[in-house]
Amino acid sequence: MSKITIEATCIGCDLPNPINDKGYCAVCAPYSDREKYELENLTSWAREMILEERDILDDIEPIRPPNNDLEWLEVIQQIIPPGYPMGHHGLSLDVAYEAVRNYPNIKILRIDRNENGGTIFYTTEDPDADEDYLLQKFNEWNYQLLEGKHGHPSLDDDRLSEAMIENLSGALDSDPLTRSSKVRAIWKRALESYPFVVDTGGDTQWVKCWTGTLPKSMILQQVLGQVLLEHFGQEPLWRLKAGIIVETVDWRNYFKTQTWPEPRKKSFRYLRQIVESSLAMRATPNGIIVQGESGAEYLLSSTSYRHEDPVTLVLNIPQNLNPNRKHLPDIVHDVCIHSSDKDLPLGDRIAVLALGLANDVKTARGIENLARVVDLFQGQGWR
């Protein structure tokens, strides 16, 4: 958060006061949209994409963050046009083949390829294999085989003989050590540009990342790494970047003017008057801190929002009040309070929260989550 430097009119509440280098006073600054959408906070690739392609980003379909290898396979198939030269006759079948090939106690009988993939027929090699364990392990794989969409062995098949399996994951190579080293080198170079981080958040906690789940499959790592390094040309990488931008951020916010609409200005003027006239409240770079009647202190945090209201954090939790509660539940650290009508401007909603928390003993009678916090300071007798 920028330090207060000069005396001028705040561009938030439109009142004279010391302001920071962004133009906001101490009350408005933590809740300023501009603090969260700064072009300089974008990673270099995201900034270039938004600046150069914003005229067509409205027409781009978002790409959902994948949670497993099957979804990564779908992402790759979405960004690489059909018939693109990739070195794989059928990516989904190659991925599936290695998964079955690497699985213990399985022998591949044959592979039938077709235009859209194919079928892998296999049998269990070990006549003493534990079928129950095999089935359980099979269904624990993170590829979400769904009934009717992705074929899997019948649970009624006593020996799993010649059962088929499609669209799983793995790696395909006759020399796995050499290939593993090659893929690791590609993958390392591909990740150097932080391709899935869109906005670093600057000096705040607002990092905007598309996904934190990376593919486990060596084939998928290799193909995705080649996409990120433009080994397949510019089009697949462009499609991926554009889909990530549209899914992860509202890119228009990076071009908003600093002028607040009049209702928002009025609401923050009201909030500032409340804070400056109350002994129970003070403005800090991280948000307004409220001293509750119970003795608890509450930070209306600007680092994250729930239902478009600041998250309420309890600051001075007395850990030694009850020796049996050394590890307090998360709810007393982060109190969920649905404070107000979302049609109200943000400053009014923050004011409602602040006034309610200043009188937390009374407010807590209708909010159990808050009552648990008051219990820590007042005991059970206040209820």
d(CA 66, CA 62): 12
In a domain, 43, yes or no: no
Q: Which domain holds residue 265?
A: 4-27+259-382
In a domain, 284, yes or no: yes
Name the burial class of residue 78, with classes exposed (0-12), middle (13-18) and buried (19+) by CB atoms within 10 angstroms of its CB.
Answer: middle
In a domain, 326, yes or no: yes
Q: How many domains does the chain have?
A: 1
Each residue's pLDDT, cut to its tens digit, for the chain (383 residues) gives 445 457 889 989 999 989 988 889 999 998 886 556 788 899 999 999 999 998 899 899 999 999 888 888 889 988 987 766 665 556 766 776 666 666 666 666 777 766 656 666 766 655 555 554 443 333 233 333 333 344 444 333 333 333 333 333 333 344 444 567 788 889 899 999 899 999 998 766 678 899 888 888 888 888 999 999 998 889 999 999 999 999 998 888 888 766 788 999 999 999 999 999 999 999 998 899 999 999 999 999 876 655 566 778 888 776 554 444 444 454 456 676 655 555 688 899 899 999 999 999 999 988 888 888 898 888 877 88
In a domain, 177, yes or no: no
Around Cβ 196, how many Cβ atoms within 10 Å?
Answer: 18
What backbone torsions phi and psi does residue 275 show, to the nearest 5 degrees? -65, -45
In a domain, 336, yes or no: yes
In a domain, 370, yes or no: yes
Q: Which amino acid is at 264?
A: R
In a domain, 10, yes or no: yes
pTM over 0.85: no
Closest CA to 120 of 133, 132, 109, 131: 109
In a domain, 103, yes or no: no
